[in-house]
Amino acid sequence: MKTHGHRALITGINGQDGSYLAEFLLDKGYEVFGTIKRNSVSENQTARLDNVYKEIRNNLFYADLCDLSSLISAIHKSRPTEVYNLAAQSHVRISFDQPIYTTLSTGVGTLNLLEAIRIIDPTIKMYQASSSEMFGNSVDSDGYQRETTPMNPVSPYGCSKVFSYNICKNYRKSYNLFAANGILFNHESPRRGSNFVTSKVVKTAVQIKRGIKDELALGNLDATRDWGHARDYVKAMWMILQHDKPDDFVCATGISHSVRDLVDYTFSRLKINKDCVKTDQKFLRPEELCNLKGDSSKIKNTLGWTPECTFEQMIDEMIEYWDKKL
């Protein structure tokens, strides 16, 4: 179904989720705009947008969540009906090395965006990318995390996301903004940065098979995550903003796998020996989040969303990507 007349602004459009969301919204008939944070390697900034770059190249703005004026400018230029806030310092382990920057970009940056919307056009709908990292090691008695599970983050990233989650709820109640949270559990794809564990495992395994590398160094192999495919999760983002009222939804597969499971499946598919897998203390977090598994019953029952891609299909897609790329 085409949705003509709608305009979307995606912060962090050149990231994994932003690129998939841009493709999804363009297919829906949206006019899509996006913000990019400038860096000195300009040729790499839009690599994930190759499929849609011709359609949106004139709709990209340099902006930073830490700079309110740049957000106001982006909203003025794009005049969106929907804003999807996907920009952040999103690497949990790095948030321990850069806690202040993480808090500013991932936490205060959300407040800046809400303020920009409140000042310019409070009818704009805003989606906030919340995270399962907000739960920390809190888990309900049945082993799942859901919308009502207490939040007890164990990283600067998780703490920043809790602030963003709560400030969205505050602006929703205080200023009647349509500000909705999607509490997304881990979601990956071939477009995931190679410093994230799924891409790191798959990319390095392909390199080992090719003789390029001889070792894969990881942290906690027993940590479990609820992994889905980013392509499924950007659909959930859109569905959340089509709801008749702003609300908060967990998006997850409900199935967890350990990092060890990830390694076992990848190495088995590539038919290589796991003796080259090592543990390295430098990849351990100062405080570890051990187990994540989400219950997405609310979004399934309310909006009809369910993930389609399995863990195995996702890893197979990533293996195929790195096998062609390397």
By annotation, the residues acting in catalysis are 131, 133, 157
What letter represents residue 173's amino acid?
K
Could you tell me how many residues make up the chain?
326
DSSP output for 159-227: HHHHHHHHHHHHHHHHH--EEEEEEE--EE-TTS-TTSHHHHHHHHHHHHHHTS-S-EEES-TT-EE--
Q: Which residues contact 275 (CB under 8 A, 6 or more apart)?
A: none
Residue position matching structure tokens 């969301």: 21
Distance CA 255, CA 133 (A): 16
Q: 1 is written with which tokens? A: 């179904």
Phi-psi region of 12 (alpha: psi -120 to 50; beta: other; left: phi over 0): left
Nearest to 228 by CA among 251, 205, 249, 262: 251
300: exposed, middle or buried (C-beta count within 10 Å: 0-12, 13-18, 19+)? middle
